[in-house]
Amino acid sequence: MLSKRSKEEVVLLMLCGLSIPSILPFGIIRLLQHHWILAAVDLMIVFGMLCITLFVWHTRRVRAAGIAVTVFYSVGMLAAIYIKGVSIVYWAYPTMIAAFFILKAKEALAINSISLLCLLWILQPAMPLFNLSSLVVTLMLINLFSYIFSERTDLQHVELNQQAEKDFLTGAGNRRAFDRQIHAMNTHETGMHDTCLLILDLDHFKNVNDQFGHMVGDQVLINFCSLMRMRLRSGDHFFRYGGEEFVVVATGVDSVAAARLAEELRSLVEKSVLLRDFPITVSIGVARRRQDEDGESWFRRADAMLYEAKLSGRNAVRVDGLDSE
């Protein structure tokens, strides 16, 4: 069941799930010892964690739940220390570290800073200045190190995702990046029908690999992608779909503008020397996205246009529904 959930959900569910059996025994023991206030604090935390666990399990909404867990933990920790005193101040360490596993680094640091100020106010009358200073410094260092670690981990996560969505040879977006782009467009429908899909396929590319070898073929693909990036707008998205087939998601254009762009790309490839003494051309199929159309249907229409361009003799552009606009 957990394998089907996001990383954020798993971390939050595990943290809440582990906190219940960790804190519940203390609440029961304190009930038996008639420490009613501390027992109430422990049981309140357990009940809160149980509610948050059920909320995340059923709704899969982690952001609000993460803030609630962190605030709940912090308030519970401060209440326990206020009631019991210095003897349980060590609970501040895991509580503050846990915040960095649940929230973004800046959010965790902000909540922990408030908790630290409250803790300083609670302990100031009860601890010698030297001991209090040592406690505050160690908690500040823990927060600093946790913040740096969290920020670096997030940065590495972003970099890994970017690398995972790039074609290793050409640097264009890969199939995974294309699928994510289409999914994002399905999620945010507004204005997305003013977007066109261009599928580009290098003509007779198998002959290049057979005659010159795959290393030369790879260099042709690299040169082709560099050429495309020089012409495409910053708002267009360029992907290597597979082999010698590429996709452009052109935003903010109708079929006429997309046809013009496709013809410019076709002509640019035809006039460029991607391989000496061997002409390289490209066939392109174009389809404008229809209102409420899913990505699969949209791609099929553009692919059908590419097939027509190939049948017409290659080095051609075909646009779906252009005559009807």
Contact residues for 26 (Cβ-Cβ < 8 A; gap 6+)? 42
**Separation between Cα atoms, residue 112 and residue 188, nearest integer Å:** 35
Catalytic residue among 151, 189, 244, 270: 244
Separation CA 218–CA 306 (nearest Å) = 22
User: What pLDDT is recorded for position 105?
Assistant: 92
Identify whether the C-beta of residue 186 lies closer than 8 Å to the C-beta of residue 299.
no
**Which string of DSSP letters, residue by residue, matches 183-196?**
HHHHH--TTTTSEE
| pLDDT score, position 243 | 92
According to the model, what pLDDT value does residue 215 have? 95
Give me the half-sphere count of Cα atoms (radius 13 Å) on the Cβ side of residue 299. 14
Contact 150, 100 (CB under 8 A): yes
Measured CA to CA, the distance from residue 196 to residue 319 in angstroms comes to: 10
Contact in structure between 181 and 249 (CB atoms under 8 Å)? yes
| Alpha-carbon span 58 to 271, nearest angstrom | 58
Integer Rg of the chain from CA: 30
Q: How far apart are the first and last CA of the chain?
A: 49
In whole angstroms, what is the distance from residue 91 CA to residue 84 CA? Answer: 12
244 counts as catalytic: yes
Q: DSSP of 97-131, one letter per residue?
A: HHHHHHS-HHHHHHHHHHHHHHHHHHHTTTS-HHH
Look at residues 263, 232, 268 and name the one whose alpha carbon lies nearest to residue 250: 232
Domain locations in the chain?
2-164, 175-324
Mean pLDDT by 10 residues, the chain (325 residues): 71 82 88 87 85 85 86 88 88 91 91 95 91 94 95 86 86 91 72 82 94 94 95 92 94 92 96 92 95 89 96 95 59
**Which residue, among 171, 174, 172, 169, has the nearest Cα to 218 in the 3D structure?**
169
Q: Tell me, what's the pLDDT at 193? A: 59
- Residues 203/289, Cβ–Cβ less than 8 Å: no
Residue given tokens 């009860």 in the structure block: 126
* Dist CA 116 CA 142 (whole Å): 12
Domain 175-324 has CATH 3.40.1360.10: no
- Angle between the 63-84 and 92-102 helix axes, to the nearest 10 degrees? 170
